[in-house]
Amino acid sequence: MAGVSSEDKARIAPLAPMDRAQQVSEALSGFISRENLRAGDRLPTERELMEALGVGRSTIREVIRRFQALGVMETRKGSGTYLLKPISAGTIHMPLTLDALDLRDALMQTLEVRRGIEVEAATVAARRRTAADIEIIEEKLDVMERVHLSKGTSGPEDLAFHLAIYDATHNPLFRQLLEQMREAFERFWSRPFDRPDFARRSFPYHRTLFNAIAAQDTEAARRETLKILDVVEEDIKEMSQ
């Protein structure tokens, strides 16, 4: 397996202060393409990437997690991070585009996609979840509930809860799809209509969704997911009038 020399590392230029994670993703995928690294090749260490790119450890780890979610990298404890598939800047990140100028239309279009994916993910998770999965999902839910009760909203915590459900499907394509769609989704779903109470009524259904998955009740998981998304749709229609 090929290693990376000091000369190779020097070819990754320091970054300007912009979107660090996105820049690191593009720099690393470009480096992999230029060096013609193959599946099985070991990548630079976290420290090497930090020094070469001039960013912090948390940014490097965030990018590595993104690549892992896409199924193109693997971190082996005590050994390093390895490439699972050849990638390039053009193939690793193909953001979805949504040109809707009207916020209501954009939200409704993304909701249609979310409904199909999230309902299926919940039913699959209910069928396949392990005891360890349930512990993780409940941990994320507990955090979400604490934040929601204290602040009245829980955007990042809500996402973490749903990501844990995706992981419980044991089908990496669910998380990979979400990673590809996140940029398009977040553009429209960050505090829609500038209303902190958007979809607040869906909050109790997250606990009932968890209960359905824990009970391995696939129909209930489907039903509770639809309740969450139905509330979202109702709020879109009401707040866009």
- DSSP states of 201-225: GGHHHHHHHHHHHHTT-HHHHHHHH
Residue given tokens 């690393």 in the structure block? 28
Helix residue ranges per DSSP H, the chain = 6-10, 20-34, 46-53, 57-69, 89-92, 103-128, 131-151, 155-168, 172-189, 203-214, 218-239
What was the pLDDT predicted at 160? Answer: 87
Position 240 scores a pLDDT of 83
Whether the CB-CB separation of 64 and 53 falls below 8 Å is answered with no
Most confident region among 72-81, 95-104, 120-129 by mean pLDDT: 120-129
Give the model's confidence band at 125: pLDDT under 50 very low, under 70 low, under 90 confident, else very high: very high
Q: Count the Cβ atoms, other than its own, within 10 Å of residue 140.
A: 21
Tell me how far apart the alpha carbons of residues 222 and 230 are, in angstroms, rounded to a whole number.
12
Residue 133 corresponds to which tokens in the numbers above? 């999965």
Instruction: Give pLDDT, residue 33.
Output: 83
Q: Cβ(222)–Cβ(178) under 8 Å?
A: no
Query: CA 79, CA 36: separation in Å to the nearest integer?
Result: 21
CB 124 within 8 A of CB 171: yes
pLDDT band (50, 70, 90) for residue 117 = very high
Tell me which range, 27-36, 40-49, 208-217, is most confidently predicted by mean pLDDT.
208-217
Q: How confident is the model over 162-176, as a mean pLDDT? A: 90
What are the sequence ranges of the domains in the chain? 6-92, 103-239
Predicted local distance difference test score (pLDDT) of residue 129: 97
User: Given CA atoms 142, 65, 174, 231 in this order, what sign does their dihedral have?
Assistant: positive
Averaged pLDDT for residues 168-173: 91
pLDDT band at 221 (very low <50, low <70, confident <90, very high): very high
The answer to whether the beta carbons of residues 119 and 64 sit under 8 Å apart is no
Q: 6-92 adopts what CATH topology?
A: Arc Repressor Mutant, subunit A (1.10.10)
Is the pLDDT confidence value at 184 over 70? no
Euclidean distance between CA atoms 174 and 165, whole angstroms:
10
Q: Tell me the CATH number for domain 103-239.
A: 1.20.120.530
Tell me how crowded residue 186 is: count the other CB atoms within 10 A of its CB: 12
Whether 216 shows a pLDDT value over 90: the answer reads yes
66: nearest Cα among 187, 180, 158: 180
Instruction: Using pLDDT thresholds of 50, 70 and 90, give the confidence band for residue 92.
Output: low
Q: Is the pLDDT of residue 93 over 70?
A: no
At residue 58, the 3 state secondary structure works out as: helix
Q: pLDDT tens digit string along 42-56?
A: 999 999 999 999 999
Mean per-residue pLDDT, 188-212: 85
Q: What does the pLDDT look like over 131-148, one tens digit per residue? A: 999 999 999 999 999 998
